[in-house]
Structure 1
């Protein structure tokens, strides 16, 4: 997956739309709002990740929010402006839509245990994408520093011929 490259002329909304398209396995922007595949006759509950977060997740997750010296969940009101957050929340939405249909008995329990809990912990962690945000303030994400890989290093990799 190729993540959007921030730059002076970068449009964060378009970049995130492209990222969502990649997450959905499509190259076009239309994939950003397309619902996950469901069995025939089964419609998704939520049209897209934004609706899922705003209408469902924000209402069922009950955590004390961090604010100043108070401990609690780090959360950003502009969650969609953090590439890691949008990727994780998109995955949560897709897993939720799949498990509610494929396992009506224990699917939601599995979703909480195997999907929401680890993703929410990573998003809200001390070093997670929301670590510099508060419920009242968004801080722009900072990509990890990356230097170009020397060609002689790439040539040693097993898949060097496919590059």
Structure 2
């Protein structure tokens, strides 16, 4: 489903292909979306899911300079929170398409994609310092080691 900038885009064909993938028809789909056997995943990994599906079905204006829109980073895979959230989105998508073929995709959009995309693209989210042509390296939250007397009070203190 990935197109090159010089290739003409046929939105009807693209939409038909996406709807066909959701229905289990993988003819003409990218190799990443080869027909699964039974409940095998449609996408081989989170990168294929983001590149071959998510990037094509999510229609949001990307913030750029004074233009408002969502924050997105082309190097999404370089953000630990993003990779964790996008991996969770991929697994939820794969599960819901099989377990609830009637309403699973609606549930996925409402309960999974919308909250995760909102968090990723938020003013203080992992993509907040990135843009369509810019990636900013991440840094972990500052932490200090917990005092042993605090850890001793926790229910799993035996494992400390």
After superposition, the C-alpha distances for 1:4-39 in whole angstroms (9 at most, x for unaligned) are: xxxxxxxxxxxxxxxxxxxxxxxxxxxxxxxxxx9x
Is structure 2 residue 61 aligned with structure 1 residue 64? yes
Is structure 2 residue 66 aligned with structure 1 residue 44? no
Q: List alignment gaps of at least 5 residues for structure 2.
A: 1-35
Mapped partners of 2:38, 2:100: distance in 1: 16
TM-score, length basis structure 1: 0.74
Mapped partners of 1:62, 1:95: distance in 2: 20
Mapped partners of 2:101, 2:149: distance in 1: 52
Counterpart among 139, 143, 147 of residue 142 in structure 1: 139
Q: CA deviation at 1:160?
A: 1.2
Mapped partners of 2:76, 2:57: distance in 1: 17
Counterpart among 126, 130, 138 of residue 129 in structure 1: 126
Greater C-alpha radius of gyration: 2
Q: List alignment gaps of at least 5 residues for structure 1.
A: 1-37
- Where do 1:4-153 residues align within 5 Å? 41-153=38-150
Which residue of 1 is the match for residue 20 of structure 2?
Answer: none
Which residue of 2 is the match for residue 11 of structure 1?
Answer: none
Q: CA deviation at 1:43?
A: 2.3
Backbone CA RMSD of aligned residues: 1.3
User: Does the residue aligned with 2:49 lie in a helix, a strand or coil?
Assistant: helix
TM-score, length basis structure 2: 0.75
Q: CA deviation at 1:120?
A: 0.1
How many residues of Structure 1 are paired with residues of Structure 2 in the alignment?
125
Mapped partners of 1:78, 1:114: distance in 2: 25
